[in-house]
Amino acid sequence: MLADICIGIVINLINRHGPRLKCAACRIVAHSGCISQLLDRQNFTCKPTFRDVGVRQYREQTSIQHHWVHRRSQKGKCRQCGKSFQSKLSFSSKDIVAISCSWCKTAYHNKDSCFNLQKIGEECDLGVHSSIIVPPSWIVKLPRGGSFKSSLRKSPKKKTNSKKKSKDKPDQRAFVIKPIPTVTVKPVIVFINPKSGGNQGAKLLQKFQWLLNPRQVFDLTQGGPKMGLEMFRKVPNLRVLACGGDGTVGWVLSILDQLEFSPPPAVGVLPLGTGNDLARALGWGGGYTDEPISKILSNIADGEIVMLDRWDLKVEKNPNAEPNEEGKENLPLNVVNNYFSLGVDAHIALEFHEAREAHPEKFNSRLRNKMFYGQAGGKDLLQRKWKDLADFVKLECDGKDLTPKLKEHKVHAIVFLNIASYGGGTRPWNKSGAAYEQSTEDGMMEVIGLTTYQLPLLQAGGHGTTITQCKSACITTSKTIPMQVDGEAARLNPSIITMTHLNKASMLAKRRGRKGNSQQTALEQLKVTVKKICMSDYEQHHYDKDVLTQRATTLGTIDVSPSADLEQVRQMIVKLQEDNSDPAARLSADWCFVDCECSLKIQMSVCIFILFIF
């Protein structure tokens, strides 16, 4: 068993110096000076995330043992007696409050009546996320030769062939996945960009490593998604979680195309940063707030598989027009997942990109970014620089010339929309003027015209001008025009652009709560009392809910659906605060929910919902 204070303190190591380091997999803590001594002691090991056995032994033991860790502090309740844990807040205290498993997260009081020696040898079921965790028995470390079969005897002829093959394509993999197919298991591999969303990505990386097997969580800054996808390509029922913006999702989908997955895994999205139109369209929201990662993983496991049309862009030079020195010959991307547009909206996106490249220090917050877009949009509204866009564009959809319609409506931008969301959550498609319902898997693009007058109205729920729905399009330009593909903008020289259907990608949409009749829905609404508490009070009494309730300040009540997520609840609380004139009800901009347990208790009809502020 291991401890969450420095192990060197527990076992009285002499060399206790340097910073304290925490293992992301099991949250064991040790001074940097203690690590070298701990590695020499077999009793102090991190939880095993793979198997280091030969080719003949890797199937001999597939069961997983608990990895018990001593904890000086522990949230939740004891599995045996059902009572809460009382933490020891003094750093000098060596008292162990709880014993918990770093795999299944089951915890017991550190006393004989709750935890006995028989539990040490029990098998672990991996806890609530057992259906998506990759068991360590599936991940086998390769011998130094790099091949899983290198430990088998080979004939001289086979050895020669093996050498030739290794010269042609060296295999540098350290691990191989040997899955045991099970109907109930849908393993999820996570790709996350630590730089996305400010510091959110780095924090979430550690949380995923704690809740899952760390070897199914990949840092995209360390070589991208290709290595992880290649490693898990033979795992049945595989699902992928891409944590980042629309660009991150597009990156993962492009690698899946390269590897020719069959069948391709379904891809879910945890939106970080700004924009995130694909995540919005799939029901995952416009950004990560502070919803418990455990709940997000449960939603991914329960997610509904939907298909996403993807479109191929081919660009040819227009021989009948002169290029511009500032223009480029190709688009930033040649595959459309979300939308492709040209004109004033791409011009604003390009100005933003160029300004951020020149002065990155001025674009370090969402508010500043939105202010820039507002100013740029206002300037274009006055200048009407792209009012003659239709004079330089010929549009053919499914072989029909629609250029006269562009001129009739005097559009300043043309948008080819593949999903419902555009430009950070707006819905420009006007359903009333459409022949078919908008869908991500109907093999059709929605073509929309926008003016500088309509662009700001989109934020207030307005729509653009319906042009058509089509299965293919050809755009011929006679002037250098700004264009963007999924938010990536560039000035493209006069070109002939052909858009055709490429393929369909499997995506994960967030499954909403079951719909019932209106009477049942009304009965299910919960009245939740919202309270706030200061950080100092929370740190002192976080293990005692009754004391927290007494010290908290009531902000009011909100009506919450049992299926509501924290993002929806946060919006309700912000509105509640705005409607409250009492100065004591003010919250700081960085307030957050107390913890995931209190947050999740909404679904169990607990009517006290406590918040704290910094």
Q: Tens digits of per-residue pLDDT, 5-64?
A: 554 444 445 455 667 777 888 887 777 777 766 666 646 677 888 887 655 555 666 788
**3-class state of residue 25 by DSSP:** coil
Partners of 522 in the β-ladder = none
CA–CA distances in Å: residue 293 to residues 16, 250, 270, 296: 34, 23, 10, 5
CA dist 336 and 328 (Å) reads: 18
Q: How confident is the model at residue 510 (pLDDT cuts 50, 70, 90)?
A: very high
Residue 167 has pLDDT above 70, yes or no: no
CA–CA distances in Å: residue 540 to residues 94, 370, 548: 19, 39, 9
CA dist 311 and 445 (Å) reads: 9
Residue 65 has pLDDT above 70, yes or no: yes
**3-class state of residue 337 by DSSP:** coil
CA dist 79 and 343 (Å) reads: 61
Q: Are 531 and 609 in contact (CB under 8 A)?
A: yes
CA dist 337 and 502 (Å) reads: 10
Tell me which of 69-73, 379-383, 556-560 is least confident: 379-383
Task: Give the contacts of 98 (CB within 8 A, at least 6 positions apart).
Answer: 70, 71, 73, 74, 78, 85, 107, 108, 109, 110
Residue 611 has pLDDT above 70, yes or no: no
Any idea what the Cα angle at residue 521 is, between residues 519 and 523, rounded to 5°? Answer: 70
Cβ atoms within 10 Å of 161's Cβ, excluding its own:
12
pTM: 0.77
pLDDT of residue 292: 92
Tell me the pairing of strands 29-31 and 335-336: unpaired
pLDDT of residue 349: 83
Residue 534 has pLDDT above 50, yes or no: yes
pLDDT of residue 468: 94
Walk me through the domains of the chain, giving residue ranges and CATH numbers. Answer: 1-125 (no CATH), 139-150+170-302 (3.40.50), 312-502 (2.60.200), 518-613 (no CATH)
Of the candidates 144, 139, 81, the residue with the CA atom closest to the CA atom of residue 107: 81
Cα 539 from chain centre: 30
Give the sign of the dihedral formed by CA 454, CA 459, CA 460, CA 466.
positive
**3-class state of residue 425 by DSSP:** coil
Could you tell me which residue, 365 or 256, shows the higher pLDDT? 256
CA dist 269 and 276 (Å) reads: 9
pLDDT of residue 288: 87
CA dist 402 and 393 (Å) reads: 10
Task: Give the contacts of 500 (CB within 8 A, at least 6 positions apart).
Answer: 311, 312, 314, 472
Residue 475 has pLDDT above 90, yes or no: yes
Residue 609 has pLDDT above 60, yes or no: no
Q: How confident is the model at residue 413 (pLDDT cuts 50, 70, 90)?
A: very high
CA dist 224 and 191 (Å) reads: 8
User: Could you report the per-residue pLDDT of 279-296, keeping only the tens digit for each?
Assistant: 999 999 988 888 899 999
Could you tell me which residue, 540 or 551, shows the higher pLDDT? 551
Of the candidates 583, 595, 594, the residue with the CA atom closest to the CA atom of residue 532: 594
pLDDT of residue 381: 53
CA dist 332 and 97 (Å) reads: 56
Q: Are 107 and 78 in contact (CB under 8 A)?
A: yes
The letter for the amino acid at 150 is S
Tell me which of 36-50, 382-396, 426-440, 454-468 is least confident: 36-50
Q: Give whichever of 149-158, 168-177, 465-474, 515-524 has the largest mean pLDDT.
A: 465-474
Residue 608 has pLDDT above 50, yes or no: no
Work out the average pLDDT over 413-426.
Answer: 92
Q: Are 17 and 33 in contact (CB under 8 A)?
A: yes
pLDDT of residue 148: 45
Tell me which of 312-316, 327-331, 351-355, 497-501 is least confident: 351-355
pLDDT of residue 364: 56
pLDDT of residue 436: 78
Partners of 558 in the β-ladder = 528
Q: Are 48 and 25 in contact (CB under 8 A)?
A: no
Q: Residue 502 is encoded by which pair of tokens? A: 């490429």
Q: How confident is the model at residue 476 (pLDDT cuts 50, 70, 90)?
A: very high
> Could you identify the residue written with the tokens 């005897």?
153
Could you tell me which residue, 78 or 362, shows the higher pLDDT? 78
Of the candidates 141, 68, 149, the residue with the CA atom closest to the CA atom of residue 108: 68
Residue 426 has pLDDT above 70, yes or no: yes
CA dist 167 and 428 (Å) reads: 54
User: Could you report the per-residue pLDDT of 201-250, keeping only the tens digit for each?
Assistant: 888 999 999 999 999 999 999 999 999 999 999 899 999 999 998 989 99
Tell me which of 80-94, 115-129, 217-231, 392-406 is least confident: 80-94
User: Could you report the per-residue pLDDT of 180-206, keeping only the tens digit for each?
Assistant: 878 889 999 999 988 777 678 888 999
Type and span of the H or E element at 208: helix 200-211
The letter for the amino acid at 356 is R
Q: Are 288 and 366 in contact (CB under 8 A)?
A: no
CA–CA distances in Å: residue 358 to residues 331, 397, 565: 21, 38, 39
Q: Are 8 and 31 in contact (CB under 8 A)?
A: yes
Of the candidates 237, 273, 267, 243, the residue with the CA atom closest to the CA atom of residue 255: 267
Type and span of the H or E element at 375: helix 366-383
Q: Are 315 and 508 in contact (CB under 8 A)?
A: no
CA dist 432 and 564 (Å) reads: 30
